Each structure stands twice: as C-alpha cells, then as structure tokens.
Amino acid sequence: MTAPASHPPIGVKSIDHVTLVVKDLDKSAAFYVDLLGMRRVDRPNFNFSGLWFQAGATQIHLILEHTGSGPAGLPLFPPPIGAGRVFHFAFEVPDCRAAIERLKEAGVHVRGGPSLRPDGYVQTWCHDPDGHVVELFSQPENPR
C-alpha cells in the first residue's frame, strides 16, 4: 500500500514502547530491571496493575493479566515452532556474548546463538518469564 501522491507519509520517528501482558509483575521486574538493566519509570494511575521500564528512548509497558487484558505470554494460537524470529522484540546490548553468559547464569534458557548475521551483528534469543521472545543483539565485532 502506498500513500496517495497528494498526502505525504505520516513520518514515524521511532518505536516509543511495547506493551506486554504478564502473569507476575515481580518476576517480570526482576527480568527487565535486574537482569537486562532497564530502569523503572513512573506510570499513570490506570485502573489495572502494571509497571513501566525504560532503556534509552524505548519503554516496555507491562500489564498484569486480568479479565480484559487477554492472556499473558504467547498468542492464544501459538505460531509454529521456529516462528519466534517473527514474533519478538529486540534490545541492543553492549556485548551479546557476555549477555548470553549472564542469561545462563540467571537460569534463563537461551534459544539460540550467539549467531552472526551476514551484516556482522551478533544476536541471541531468550524468553522473558511469560514466554515472550526477546532478542538481544550487539554491533558488529569488526566493523567494516
């Protein structure tokens, strides 16, 4: 789909936040803050429980699973095995290989990696406490 010639593109500036439904705010806070190093930020006083975290200019908004939220974790109809690369979000980290070791030390199952992409980036995948697929990647080790 293309915009009509008389209308310029909307002009998205960046991804501001990702919202996830979770079963346990404390377990999720431990994953996103204690393990990944995001910082907790203020959240408006909504009529449902949740937490917000930030890294750089991007935020993760967590909503505690409730009647109107839908299920926590994977979609109601999970994608086929191997589709996690499609259904995920990613964080840039200083050193992906070091991040993998830290994840393993914390008992987090690493789904794959370190993998070297054709453009030189190093990446891996894991699950947060609710099964959301999280990619961690770092800049090329030997930039060209």
Taken in order of first residue, the domains within the chain and their CATH numbers are 15-66 (3.10.180.10), 73-143 (3.10.180.10)
**pLDDT the model gives residue 87:** 67
Q: What is the pTM of this model?
A: 0.76
Q: How far is residue 39 from each of residues 5, 64, 93, 142, measured CA to CA in Å? A: 43, 18, 15, 30
The pLDDT of residue 79 is 52
Question: What pLDDT does 133 receive?
Answer: 86
So what's the pLDDT on residue 83?
Answer: 47
In the prediction, which pLDDT does 33 show? 98
pLDDT tens digits, 89-110: 889 999 999 999 999 999 999 9
Asked if residue 22 lies in contact with residue 65, where contact means CB atoms within 8 angstroms, the answer is yes
Kindly give the parts of the chain with pLDDT less than 70: 1-5, 10, 74-87, 142-144
Q: What share of the chain is helix, strand, coil (3-state, %, to 5)?
A: 15, 30, 50
